[in-house]
A = this chain, B = another copy of it.
Amino acid sequence: MYQYLDNPDWRDKLVVKMDFLDKLNAAVDTNNSLACVGLDPNLDKLPKHLLNDKTPFFTFGKAIIDATADLVCAFKPNSAFYEARGAVGIEELKQTCEYILQNYSNIPIILDYKRGDIDTTNSHYTKFAFDYLGVDAVTVQPYEGRKAFKPFLDRKDKGIIVLCRMSNEGADEFQEMLVDGRKLYLRVAEHVRDEWNTNKNCHLVVGATVPAELAEVRQLIGDEMVFLVPGVGAQGGDLEATLKSGLNSKGRGLIINSSRQILYASGGEDFAQVARQAALGLRDEINKYRGEN
Contacts and interface: CB of A to CB of B under 8 A. Distances in A.
A132 B84 contact: yes
A177 interface: yes
A213 interface: no
B168 A188 contact: no
A168 B173 CA distance: 24
A142 B145 contact: no
A238 interface: no
A145 B175 contact: yes
A90 B118 CA distance: 20
A121 interface: yes
Query: How many interface residues does chain A have, given as a range?
Result: 35 or more
Interface stretch (A179-187, A217-225, A265-273, A275-283): A179-187
Copies of this chain, how many?
2
Interface in A27-66: 40, 42
A288 interface: no
Interface in A102-124: 114-119, 121-122, 124
A179 to B, nearest CB: 5
Nearest to A173: B145
Contact of A86 (B117, B128, B171, B184): B128
A157 interface: no
A95 to B, nearest CB: 10
A90 B89 CA distance: 10
B177 A187 contact: yes
A274 B141 CA distance: 36
A125 B80 contact: yes
Max chain B C-beta neighbours (<10 A), residue from A83, A122, A188, A235? A83
